[in-house]
Amino acid sequence: MSEHLSHDQITKWIAGQSTAEEEQHGLECPECSAALNRFRESVLTFRFAMKDWSEREIVPRLDETSGGLLRRHRSQPPLRWALVTMMAALLMGIPIYEHMRKPATLTESVTNFQAENAVNDDVRLMEEVNTHLSRPLPLPMERVMALLPNGVEQLGLAQGAEGTEGKEIR
Amino acid sequence: MTETSPLNKCMEPTTTFGFIASGMETPLTEIQDFDRVMQVYWPRVLRFVMASVRDRDVAETLTQDCFWNAYKYRNSFRGDSSLNTWLMQIALNGVRKFVRNRRLQFWRQVQRSAVDSSVMSNWLPDHGISPEARTLVDEQVRTVWNATRNLSGRQRTVFLLRFMEDMNIFEIAQTTGLTENAVNVHLFRAVRAVRKSIEELP
């Protein structure tokens, strides 16, 4: 292989996907090797930095890890607690509200019922009074008059005549 | 096609893939001493999670969760994969869950302790290098850090597992649940994007 490796061929070489021929060329050609070295140097530095950092971090012991996890699982974030409290208050509040509301409704309905009854009584009384006043004869006399044919009309006429006569006498 | 990357030949060898080098224990016996497991694998999981979520507090929490879950379910670990792969799987699940929740909670300012690339300079140990060299190193670290931020989630995961954790394609496939071909595709795209950023360096 006389020509240089293409950009993708070098990428494949770095990724370990090149052919033996490409690899051989890469190792022998200074220009292609430079491309590899540039990548390798940066990645190695990065790797070294990450490795060095991670190894400087303190590794906890297992009991610390489990303790920490348990504590973490126990201590929920404040927002979550607030939501839980709100939900609980809501769930408890609904039945209490319903419970408080029901007697009030009953009292109201009883009062309304009583007021309605009072009005009805008044109306009924007034109707009775009106009926009583509108009768041409007293109640006991009506039964007697019912026995007579055309009793009421005749009586009414007779009363009218008597009334006229009476007025005249006076 | 060759499986080995030229980078690996130049990088310092990593300790093990699932076996603690000194004892050559199997993963099943290794997991019994969980305090030792934490000592060995905590830094690896922490830096992987940190580079994935870019938030120090979240990274510590997710790492803690990872080891807590691993401890709880250690009896279900059958040793089919290496311990490193298993822990990375758990850590990756934690990262995915966190990212999913963060998408849902987009109105919240989640990244309160987000790590800016400038903060990373403080992580670099001072090994008596000159200020000029220090600047160059800072720039290189910052460039890769920023370049990985712009990758897709899968590309970033594959890139970090390959070049930061030095895992091979098979192990990455096991950890991510992707096929080896898919890992290769994501890796190629990730390397191309990171290379582009590196080439823009002065």
The pLDDT score that the predictor gives to residue B173 is 95
More confident residue, A78 or B16: A78
Partner-chain residue, chosen from B164, B187, B198, that has the shortest CB–CB distance to A39:
B198
Poorest-pLDDT segment among A27-36, A73-82, A84-93: A73-82
The pLDDT score that the predictor gives to residue B113 is 56
Alpha-carbon distance B124 to B12, whole Å? 18
Q: Which residue of A has its CA nearest to B120?
A: A49
| A31 near B CB under 8 A | no
Alpha-carbon distance B115 to B176, whole Å? 25
CB contact under 8 A, A50 and B64: no
| A157 near B CB under 8 A | no
Taking the CB of residue A49, how many other CB atoms lie within 10 A of it?
23
More confident residue, A47 or B7: A47
Number of H helices, E strands in chain B: 9, 0
Alpha-carbon distance B9 to B162, whole Å? 14
SS3 state of residue A61:
coil
Residue B189 has pLDDT above 60, yes or no: yes
- Give the confidence band of A164 by pLDDT, cuts at 50, 70, 90: very low
CB contact under 8 A, A59 and B140: no
Alpha-carbon distance B202 to B198, whole Å? 9
pTM: 0.64
Q: What's the Cα-to-Cα distance from A70 to each of A64, A75, B42, B91, B101, rounded to whole Å?
A: 10, 9, 19, 19, 21
Poorest-pLDDT segment among A148-152, A158-162, B195-199: A158-162
**Chain B partners of A16 at a C-beta cutoff of 8 Å?**
2-8, 169
pLDDT in tens, A90-129: 888 888 887 777 665 666 777 778 888 888 889 999 998 8
Q: What's the Cα-to-Cα distance from B166 to each of A52, A56, A87, A91, B84, rounded to whole Å?
A: 15, 20, 50, 55, 11
The pLDDT score that the predictor gives to residue B21 is 41
Q: What is the mean pLDDT of residues B26-46?
A: 83
pLDDT in tens, B79-112: 888 899 999 999 999 999 998 887 666 555 555 5
Partner-chain residue, chosen from A42, A57, A65, that has the shortest CB–CB distance to B68:
A65
Query: Nearest CA to CA, how far is B6 from chain A (Å)?
Result: 6
Partner-chain residue, chosen from B67, B164, B199, that has the shortest CB–CB distance to A65:
B67
B158 Cβ neighbours under 8 A, 6+ residues apart: B172, B176, B178, B183, B186, B187, B190
**Chain B partners of A20 at a C-beta cutoff of 8 Å?**
2
CB contact under 8 A, A65 and B10: no
Q: Are A14 and B6 in contact (CB under 8 A)?
A: yes
Q: Which residue of A has its CA nearest to B139?
A: A42
Residue A80 has pLDDT above 80, yes or no: no
Mutate to test the interface with A, among B40, B68, B118 (most CBs of A within 10 A): B68
The pLDDT score that the predictor gives to residue B25 is 60
pLDDT in tens, A27-72: 889 988 898 888 989 999 899 888 988 888 888 877 766 555 555 5
CB contact under 8 A, B191 and A40: no
Residue A76 has pLDDT above 90, yes or no: no
Alpha-carbon distance A19 to A27, whole Å? 12
Partner-chain residue, chosen from B47, B187, B192, that has the shortest CB–CB distance to A51:
B47
Mutate to test the interface with B, among A46, A51, A69 (most CBs of B within 10 A): A46
ipTM of this complex prediction, to 2 decimal places: 0.81
Residue B59 has pLDDT above 70, yes or no: yes
pLDDT in tens, B115-172: 666 666 666 666 677 788 888 888 888 899 989 988 999 999 999 999 999 999 999 9
Q: Which residue of A has its CA nearest to B65?
A: A69
Q: Are B85 and B171 in contact (CB under 8 A)?
A: yes
The pLDDT score that the predictor gives to residue A142 is 73
Query: Nearest CA to CA, how far is B114 from chain A (Å)?
Result: 16
Mutate to test the interface with B, among A6, A11, A37 (most CBs of B within 10 A): A11
